Amino acid sequence: MELRHLRYFLTVARTLNFTKAADELHMAQPPLSRQIRELEEELGVALFERRGKRVFLSSAGQVFEERARRILAETNSAIVDSQRAARGEIGRVAVGFFEHIAYTLLPPLLREFQQRYPAVTVELRWFSSAEQINALDRGDVDVAFVRSLPPDTQLNSVLLLQEPFYVAIAKDNPLAAKRQISIKDCMQLRVINYQKDVAPDYHATINQLCALAGFSPSTSFEMGQIYASLGLVSAGFGVTLVPASVQRTHIDNVVYRPLREQHVKSELYLAWKEPNPPAALGCFVQLACEIAAQAPRKAKVK
């Protein structure tokens, strides 16, 4: 039995006239009658009762009609859904993110993605920056925002942003009057660092910059999140470095000044494990590149 047999049967069942059904199906009446007869022989039941020139559904035909309609409807739905899935219009994408992204790139990305692909389910999973790679390896997420990639990584990735660092400093600190602040300017202040196990890239960057300037950052004030560091800055406990995009976030009594050492950059990647990702994931990555391209430096595929 093939799907065409179901279509032939349903057309005859609706019209109860082989000639009309043949016309609708753009075929001659004898071949249609033969197809219905073969279907009845395969099922072992009579689907139609013939009373003179009139045709009626048998009791078996009535039951078969209901099931046949359901089968064709499910088949058509499966065809449509598979085509939509191939275009990335339906599916599921599990996204790993960390704190900073939730305030900057992620909101406009999710808003636009939902507008373009309303039938795709996006699941958000929070992990620290350092945990994103492990989450990808475990399969906890399909795609993740990461600050750095291991040199020997097998992950696929795209560089979304490459941002300069800014110094976050209390508004009433005399250094806040400067248009730019060098790391050496911060020598007499407490430089708040990030925890190595949470943000190893930021931790290393601040350590290296301070070492080149001849001093060390604070070891008693190491935060796991950017906004925890900014809370300390707001209270006057020191200064910290943040990527440029953070300056769009208002924190009471905190201002942002460009770090003079402009060669130091904060990088943001989008990484995924599957070599041939589902279409919905591909659409998410492409849109992330579009949103990130609104930043000063456009995204570059790695």
pLDDT tens profile 267-299: 999 999 988 889 999 999 999 999 999 864 434
Give 241's contacts (C-beta < 8 A, 6+ positions apart).
Answer: 165, 166, 167, 168, 191, 202, 205, 206, 209, 259
3-state secondary structure of 91: strand
**For a pLDDT cut of 90, what percent of the chain falls above it?**
63
> Which pLDDT score is estimated for 295?
60
DSSP at 185: G
286 vs 52, more confident: 286
Handedness of CA 215, 218, 222, 225 (dihedral sign): negative
pLDDT in tens, 70-85: 988 888 888 877 887 7
d(CA 276, CA 281): 10
Q: What is the band of 145 on the pLDDT scale with cuts at 50, 70, 90?
A: very high
**For a pLDDT cut of 70, what percent of the chain falls above it?**
97
42 vs 151, more confident: 42
pTM value surpassing 0.75: no
Count CA atoms closer than 13 A to 84's CA, side-chain side: 15
Query: Is 152 exposed, middle or buried, given 0-12, 13-18 or 19+ CB atoms closer than 10 A?
Result: exposed
CATH classification for the domain delimited by 161-265, as one of 2.60.120.260, 3.40.190.10, 1.10.1370.40, 3.30.750.80: 3.40.190.10
d(CA 80, CA 84): 6
With a cut of 80, say whether residue 258 has pLDDT above it.
Answer: yes
Query: Rounded mean pLDDT of 207-226?
Result: 91
CATH classification for the domain delimited by 3-86, as one of 1.50.10.10, 1.10.540.10, 3.30.1490.20, 1.10.10.10: 1.10.10.10
The 3 state secondary structure assigned to 125-171 is: EECCHHHHHHHHHHCCCCEEEECCCCCCCCCEEEEEEEEEEEEEEEC
Parallel, antiparallel or unpaired: strands 90-97 and 143-146 = parallel
> Which pLDDT score is estimated for 292?
93
Query: Between the CA of residue 11 and those of 15, 67, 72, what are the distances in Å?
Result: 6, 14, 12
Which residues is 181 bridged to in the sheet?
259
CA-nearest of 251, 191, 190, 197 to 224 is 197
CATH classification for the domain delimited by 93-154+271-301, as one of 3.40.190.10, 1.10.540.10, 3.30.420.40, 3.40.50.10380: 3.40.190.10
Domain ranges of the chain: 3-86, 93-154+271-301, 161-265
> Which pLDDT score is estimated for 51?
85
Average pLDDT for the chain: 90
Helix or strand holding residue 189 (H, E): none
With a cut of 90, say whether residue 1 has pLDDT above it.
Answer: no
